[in-house]
Amino acid sequence: MTIQWFPGHMAKARRQVEERLKIIDIVFELLDARIPSASQNPMMDEIVGHKPRIILLNKYDLSDPAVTKEWVSFFERKGGHALPIDSLSGRGLETIPKLAESLTQSVQDKRQAKGMKGRAIRAMIVGIPNVGKSSLINRLAKRSVAQTGDRPGVTKSQQWIKTGKNLDLLDTPGILWPKFGEERVGYLLAATGAIRDEILDIYDVALFTLKIMKERYEKRLVERYGLEEGVSDPLQILEEIGRKRGILRRGGEVDMERSADLFLKELRNGKLGPISLESPGDAAEF
């Protein structure tokens, strides 16, 4: 499966990001804590280059805490800096400015050595669509300055936001890559709502996700939908979810597409509890 998904505004966004990096001190890269590998744009290393970067594992409240801890260690072993955060509640955000100041101290020192005045740290926020960039900005700025939404592609242009004397933020539109080479990446992005439901068949996305849930969080499915333990086939699980919830067509047949839609909405909204759909071990396999 190859998903073509690189509309014109995303190509333009990449060019704008690359141009603005010249005046940026540090990059904040937002990933979805439930799917850190799948939600990391593989072009980002190339785009950002050697600029200091902080990886922010957002939607931490929706992810499995134990697995998120593994991801933090994973990125640190690679020489990076990772922080689990929740941009909606503000959890973990207080650490960001302090770490940014530490990582950009050499830049400030060079400015002072040249006799230049100190200034606020200039940070660029990057990430794929619907990962929570605007919510993060609003939290850090302590006011509503960036448009938010639960659908991909809300941010359409770049804007500077002041968050006090020491940190200025540059928001950017979400950037996806030209195509998803791995089938699992597309399905994981679809499962968490990073790409529109029209891009992939919602029925296939639900079956893919149910397979992972069955392997890792079977008890959650049993408790949420009143299923019998031991049901192994994702198709049977989805059908049973629809039957338990009364999502039936005329004649008593389960409406599988509506059942898939219900399951994915509840998964995205945290109704199935904190879950992680991939771990560092999964990422190492691909």
Asked if 131 and 175 count as a contact pair (C-beta separation under 8 A), the reply is no
Q: Got the DSSP string for 18-61?
A: HHHGGG-SEEEEEEETTSTTTTS-TTHHHHHTTS-EEEEEE-GG
Residue 261 has pLDDT above 50, yes or no: yes
Q: Do domains 3-179 and 202-284 have the same CATH topology?
A: no
For the record, the structure tokens of 48 come out as 């950002």
**pLDDT tier at 4, thresholds 50, 70, 90:** low
Helix H, strand E, coil C: the string for 59-73 is: CHHHCCHHHHHHHHH
Distance separating alpha carbons of residues 183 and 180, to the nearest angstrom: 7
| pLDDT at position 226 over 60 | yes
More confident residue, 135 or 208: 208
Q: Which whole number is the average pLDDT over 271-276?
A: 96
Q: What is the mean pLDDT of residues 77-100?
A: 93
Q: What does the pLDDT read at residue 2?
A: 52
Question: Which CATH fold topology does 202-284 show?
Answer: Conserved Hypothetical Protein Ylqf; Chain: A; domain 2 (1.10.1580)
Domain boundaries, the chain: 3-179, 202-284
- Per-residue pLDDT reduced to its tens digit, 42-85: 888 888 888 999 999 999 999 999 999 999 999 999 989 999 99
Whether 6 has a pLDDT exceeding 80, the answer reads no
185 in Cβ contact with 5 (< 8 Å): no
Class of domain 3-179: alpha beta
Number of neighbouring beta carbons within 10 Å of residue 151: 10
What is the per-residue pLDDT for 151?
44
pLDDT of 149 > 60? The answer is no
DSSP 8-state class, residue 248: B
Bigger pLDDT: 181 vs 62 = 62
Report the mean per-residue pLDDT for the chain. Answer: 86
